[in-house]
């Protein structure tokens, strides 16, 4: 992406009439010029809707309290699932949910999570807080939940402490329509018809919590386990191989060279944090340096996806194996007074921008990246939703996912951006990120993110191949870097209407500092 260094700086009070909503101090700022060229007549790859997937692990209050409260709870629920959370997730059109982990997956034994709940064994969740795991949310509860919110199921199998037989039997239990003993057991437990099982993960972070393996060892083990992941012809899951951590390109080289023809997808995990692993930084009350560092780390996804993809291209030039970024998101220090193993953190405008920048990167790599699962759905890391007993709030990240819904299944379009950089101390990144696509209804959708918290951006977009008059949509911004929704003020950060005008042949978009805008071109 070419960067226009030292670009013209305009001082402009941004057009409040054009923005079409109430005046806030954030909308009057120094503004820089940014030019964008969108080629609406050069369709690229389809943006798989699974890029908007999520991850729900048995971790802290991610499942218990966040999704599942049980039928006898005073919190309004449907068969044990919180009504408020289910409604919010349905609105988000979640395409796919990955479960039960994460690290938890490699100590999960599926037989302990079926049958009458009061007879299921209580285990210790050794990875996450050493708390009791009641096993009340098991295979039936997860697959019914996925159906309830209209999402596909992505089940992650246990390689680290399980066996190929246990894995094979789990798949049979879920998918078989025969009279096999396992299928009959499923029926006796209340589910007559098999569930659809489109995605099955073989191992999780096998380089770490999933078994501390070498890639050479795991490549063989992967092939062994994956051989026994079957399922009937019309319900055969795609197999996902546990992949690399961040920039471990050797892992990708070995896995793809040795096992590519046995996998449908290969996973990558990358988390964003402003500091070091031992001292990541707080989720609120952070400095502008931490803001810049976080966003700078977030856009590293571009380099990671490009480099892993180019290794994949070498071994799989026809792109038969997809890249699934099945864990990504921000990871900050745990909040004081909470179990540090629960990974509960607040979610601010900064997280919203991490989400929009990352989704833009996935759009640009839509030819190889076919699924991504933000970590995690509720109450854990970069959550969509936070709950506290009967209260619930949607996070700024939720709002970005909701604003980006038109991109699900859309056709990506080339967008070239000439933007100055936003620099702060050692951190520097393009000030404006843009993503364009033609949605399923044929409408041109454009997303803009302005990462600079102090300067606006006056964007002029040339759009070839389409006649347009103007564009309208929504904006997400706020007056502080760590603006957030709380249980008392659940609507402090939420999208507002936004309009952009046509001048000459160009679309003019006035982006306030630290904002995300998605518009449909009319």
Identify any residues that bridge with 520 across adjacent strands, giving them in sequence order.
445, 472
Closer to ligand AHR by Cβ: residue 57 or 316: 57
Residue 301, SS3? helix
Shortest Cβ distance from residue 356 to ligand AHR (Å)? Answer: 21
Q: What are the E-state strand segments in 184-299?
A: 199-202, 238-245, 265-272
Find the shortest distance in angstroms from Cβ 103 to ligand AHR. Answer: 4
The residue (of 13 and 246) whose beta carbon lies closer to ligand AHR is: 246
Nearer to ligand AHR, 379 or 412 (CB): 379
> Which residue of the set 133, 141, 205, 302 is catalytic?
205
The enclosing H or E element of 145 equals helix 139-149
Left, alpha or beta for 7 (phi > 0: left; psi -120 to 50: alpha)? beta
DSSP string, 440-464: TTS-EEEEEEE--SSEEEEEEEEEE
Nearest distance from residue 245's CB to ligand AHR, in Å?
Answer: 8
Residue with tokens 């997956």: 105
Q: Measured from the CB atom, is 357 or 380 closer to ligand AHR? A: 380
- Residue 469: other Cβ atoms inside 10 A: 9
Closer Cβ to ligand AHR, 54 or 477, answer by number: 54
Joined tokens for residue 291: 């803001």
Q: What DSSP character marks residue 493?
A: S
* Contacts with ligand AHR, residue ranges (CB under 6 A): 57, 101-103, 204-205, 327, 375-376, 381
Peptide bond into 358 cis (omega under 30): no
Nearer to ligand AHR, 33 or 131 (CB): 131
Q: Judge contact between 49 and 95, C-beta under 8 A.
A: yes
Distance CA 82, CA 75 (A): 7
Q: Which is nearer to ligand AHR, 361 or 374 (CB)?
A: 374
Q: Which of 133, 172, 302, 327 is catalytic?
A: 327
Number of H helices and number of E strands within the chain?
Answer: 11, 27
Give least dist CB 154 to ligand AHR, A.
13
Q: How far is the CB of 75 from ligand AHR (least distance, A)?
A: 25
Q: Closest separation between CB of residue 99 and ligand AHR, Å?
A: 11
Reduced to 3 states (helix: H, G, I; strand: E, B; else coil), residue 315 is: helix
Cα 305 to Cα 267: distance, rounded to the nearest angstrom:
11
Separation CA 193–CA 186 (nearest Å) = 9
| Cα atoms in the 13 Å half-sphere on the side-chain side of 408 | 17
CB atoms within 10 A of CB 522: 12
C-alpha–C-alpha distance, residues 392 and 226, integer Å: 39
Name the residue whose CB lies closest to ligand AHR: 102
And the tokens for 281? 């930084």
Cβ–Cβ under 8 Å, residues 283 and 347? yes
Q: Which is nearer to ligand AHR, 31 or 376 (CB)?
A: 376
- Three-state DSSP at 500 gives strand
**What whole-number distance in Å separates Cα of residue 325 and Cα of residue 283?**
23
Name the minimum Å distance from CB 368 to ligand AHR: 21
Neighbours of 409 (CB within 10 A): 18
Closer by beta carbon to ligand AHR, 382 or else 515 = 382
Q: How far is the CB of 340 from ligand AHR (least distance, A)?
A: 13
Q: How many Å apart are CA 5 and CA 16, to the nearest integer?
A: 28
- Please say whether the beta carbons of 418 and 457 come within 8 A: no
Q: Looking at beta carbons only, is 329 or 495 nearer to ligand AHR?
A: 329
Is residue 112 among the annotated active site residues?
Answer: no
Residues 6+ away with beta carbon under 8 Å from 178: none
Nearest distance, CB of residue 445 and ligand AHR, angstroms: 30
**327 flagged as catalytic:** yes
Q: Is 490 exposed, middle or buried (0-12, 13-18, 19+ CB in 10 A)?
A: middle
> Catalytic residues, which ones?
205, 327
């Amino acid at each position: 992406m070419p960067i226009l260094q030292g670009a013209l700086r305009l001082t402009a009070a941004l057009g409040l009439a054009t923005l079409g909503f109430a005046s806030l101090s954030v909308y009057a700022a120094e503004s820089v010029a940014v030019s964008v060229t969108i080629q609406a007549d050069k369709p690229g790859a389809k943006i798989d809707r699974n890029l908007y997937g999520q991850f729900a692990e048995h971790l802290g209050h991610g499942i218990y309290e966040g999704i599942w409260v049980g039928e006898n709870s005073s919190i309004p629920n449907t068969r044990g699932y919180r009504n408020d959370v289910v409604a919010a997730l349905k609105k988000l059109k979640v395409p796919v949910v990955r479960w039960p982990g994460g690290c938890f997956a490699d100590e999960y034994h599926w037989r302990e999570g079926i049958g009458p709940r009061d007879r299921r064994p209580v285990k210790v969740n050794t990875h996450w807080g050493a708390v009791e795991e009641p096993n009340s949310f098991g295979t039936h509860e997860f697959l019914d939940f996925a159906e309830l919110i209209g999402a596909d199921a992505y089940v992650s199998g246990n390689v680290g402490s399980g066996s190929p037989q246990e894995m094979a039997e789990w798949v049979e239990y879920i998918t078989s329509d025969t009279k096999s003993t396992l299928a009959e057991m499923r029926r006796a437990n209340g589910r007559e018809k098999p569930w659809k099982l489109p995605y099955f993960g073989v191992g999780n972070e096998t380089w770490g919590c999933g078994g501390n393996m070498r890639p050479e060892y795991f490549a063989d083990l992967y092939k062994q386990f994956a051989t026994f992941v079957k399922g009937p012809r019309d319900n055969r899951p795609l197999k996902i191989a546990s992949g690399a951590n961040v920039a471990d390109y050797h892992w990708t080289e070995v896995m793809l060279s040795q096992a590519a023809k046995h996998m449908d997808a290969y996973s990558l995990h990358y988390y964003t944090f402003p500091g070091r692993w031992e001292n990541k930084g707080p989720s609120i009350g952070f400095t502008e340096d931490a803001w810049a560092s976080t966003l700078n780390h977030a856009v590293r996804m571009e380099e990671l996806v490009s480099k892993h993809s180019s290794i994949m291209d070498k071994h799989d030039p026809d792109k038969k194996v997809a890249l699934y970024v099945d864990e990504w998101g921000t990871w900050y220090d745990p909040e004081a007074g909470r179990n540090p193993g629960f990974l509960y953190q607040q979610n601010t405008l900064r997280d919203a921008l991490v989400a929009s920048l990352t989704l833009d990167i996935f759009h640009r790599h839509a030819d190889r990246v076919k699924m991504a699962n933000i970590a995690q759905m509720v109450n854990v890391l970069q959550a969509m939703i936070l709950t506290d007993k009967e209260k619930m709030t949607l996070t700024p990240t939720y709002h970005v996912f909701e604003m980006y819904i038109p991109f699900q299944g859309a056709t990506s379009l080339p967008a070239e951006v000439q933007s100055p950089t936003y620099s702060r101390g050692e951190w520097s990144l393009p000030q404006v990120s843009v993503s364009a696509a033609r949605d399923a209804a044929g409408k041109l959708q454009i997303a803009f993110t302005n990462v600079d918290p102090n300067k606006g951006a006056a964007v002029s977009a040339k759009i070839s191949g389409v006649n347009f008059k103007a564009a309208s949509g929504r904006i997400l911004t706020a007056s502080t870097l760590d603006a957030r929704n709380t249980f008392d003020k659940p609507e402090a950060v939420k999208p507002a209407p936004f309009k952009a005008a046509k001048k000459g042949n160009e679309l003019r978009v006035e982006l306030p500092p630290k904002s995300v805008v998605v518009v449909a071109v009319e």
